[in-house]
Amino acid sequence: MAEQRLDGMRVAILVSNYFEQVELTEPRKALEQAGAQTQLVAPKPGEVQGMNHVDKADRFPVDLTLDQADPDQFDAVLLPGGVVNADALRMEPKAQEFVKKIQQAGKPLAVICHGPWLLVSSGLVKDRTLTSYYTLQDDIRNAGGRWEDREVVRDRNWVSSRWPRDIPAFNREMLALLAEWRARRSPRVA
């Protein structure tokens, strides 16, 4: 497969504290290696705390707060998981507003593990097919979505995965989705 270049694309990574670190760092690395620019967007300024499952890991600087971030300035969104992160983020009205605007514009959403909680709380999963950490399947189904137990699921402008073991498949499909979206948006040269 040819390398997918995403030069100039801007991806917002929405997190709160206690996100699953590898679900941020590995997709972020893949995006940046493909030429995309990523920005960490969080409810508060300063730093956010990563986790290695239940153990504290590294801290990361916040690039923009949810108050400062404009969804129109981004081409896509990445939602890492982590129970505490996802549960806190789903209750942030500005985070809900952000993903709703991204969805209304038909831009790509890449979400892994517990990340779909924000999509559930934003009312976006009805009639969508996705995967997640298995404990979210009832939330997704109760919100009108279809949950599948697969390493990666693509549904229109969404790509989703279950957990860190799925990151290679998640990254591959995320990059493909963004490249396809970009190709549809780019003017054709005769």
Task: Round to whole Å and give the CA distance between 42 and 62.
Answer: 6
Which pLDDT tens digit goes with each residue over 161-172?
999 999 999 999
Query: Exactly one of 28, 107, 114, 182 is catalytic; which is it?
Result: 114
CATH superfamily name and code, 10-182:
Class I glutamine amidotransferase (GATase) domain (3.40.50.880)
Delimit the domains of the chain by residue range: 10-182
Residue spans of beta strands (DSSP E) within 66-182: 76-79, 109-112, 129-130, 146-147, 152-155, 158-161
Query: Exactly one of 36, 51, 77, 113 is catalytic; which is it?
Result: 113
pTM: 0.95
* Residue 114 a catalytic site member: yes
| pLDDT string in tens for the chain (190-residue length) | 446 799 999 999 999 999 999 999 999 999 999 999 999 999 999 999 999 999 999 999 999 999 999 999 999 999 999 999 999 999 999 999 999 999 999 999 999 999 999 999 999 999 999 999 999 999 999 999 999 999 999 999 999 999 999 999 999 999 999 999 999 886 554 4
Which pLDDT tens digit goes with each residue over 42-60?
999 999 999 999 999 999 9
